[in-house]
Amino acid sequence: MNTCIGIFCFTMISQAMTSSLRSDMIIKLLGISKNMSLYYGKGLLIAIKENWLEQLPQAAER
C-alpha cells in the first residue's frame, strides 16, 4: 500500500513539474520529490529488515 501511494505521489509531482511555467515551483517540487524518495527508501529498508515484504513461494521441506 505504501508503495502504491508513493508511486502515485511521484507521478503527480512529475506531472506538476512538467506543466508548471514557474521555475521556483519546479525547485520546490524537486525538493519535495527528493525528501519523498529518502522517506520511501527508509521505509523499504525497514520492511526488508523486519521481513515484511512478500516472499516468493518456497519448496516444501520434506
Question: Taking the chain (62 residues) in consecutive chunks of 10 residues, what is each chunk's mean pLDDT?
Answer: 68 84 86 86 85 75 73
Asked whether residue 12 is domain-assigned, the answer is: yes
- pLDDT at position 3 is 61
How much of the chain exceeds pLDDT 70, in percent?
85
Asked whether residue 62 is domain-assigned, the answer is: no
Q: Are 13 and 33 a contacting pair, CB within 8 Å? A: yes
Asked whether residue 55 is domain-assigned, the answer is: no
Domain count, the chain: 1
- Per-residue pLDDT tens over the stretch 9-23: 778 888 888 888 888
The rounded distance, in Å, linking the Cα atoms of 23 and 32 is 14
The rounded distance, in Å, linking the Cα atoms of 18 and 29 is 11
**In the block, which residue shows the cell 507521478?**
11
Asked whether residue 60 is domain-assigned, the answer is: no
pTM of the model: 0.61
Query: Residue 8 belongs to what domain range?
Result: 3-50
